[in-house]
Amino acid sequence: MVDRVLTPKQQAEYDKLLEALDYYDIEGEDRRLILEAYHAEDWDWTECDGCTLVDEGGFAKGYRHPACVRHDYDCYLVRKGEMSRKEGDARFKRNLRLLGMHRTRAWGRWFGVRSFWVCVQKWRDRKYLEGRVVPVQHESNHWGRSACVVPV
């Protein structure tokens, strides 16, 4: 587990995550996998988007949805070659359902994220994997490090 200094808003957000996991009775491996994204040593959840542009499932606009944070972390693992995109997308849909999202809405959210990847991110990822771009980190970047690329 990585101890990070969190702002009051980030601490409130993390506390809300723990409350949500308790409220939806998410235990065992499912809980561990969601929390893994928040405690990863080589990835910082405070820099990812986490679906902050929408109000979803009790998570107010501006707060990262735990399923989205885990999916952003899974995308990072895909880029590192540690998991498949298919596995990450399946986990995303499952986590949305675990956190109380209706099946139709979860499918729609999954479809939207998958469509974005096919239309936009896939090409960024290809350039990244071919070494034509390198990821950079911007503290002021709302979209997080996974969306930041700079031509080499």
Domain that holds residue 95: 8-112
Burial of 107 (0-12, 13-18, 19+ CB in 10 A): middle
Q: What is the pLDDT of residues 68-102, one digit of tens each?
A: 889 889 988 988 889 988 898 899 999 989 988 88
Any domain includes 32:
yes
Any domain includes 45:
yes
Any domain includes 140:
no
Q: Give the pLDDT of residue 91.
A: 93
Any domain includes 52:
yes
Any domain includes 25:
yes
pLDDT below 70 — which residues of the chain? 1-3, 51-63, 121-152
Question: What is the model's pTM?
Answer: 0.72
Q: How many domains does the chain have?
A: 1
Any domain includes 34:
yes
Q: Give the pLDDT of residue 12.
A: 86
Dist CA 19 CA 5 (whole Å): 20
Any domain includes 16:
yes
Going by their DSSP bridges, the two strands 149-151 and 133-135 should be labelled as antiparallel
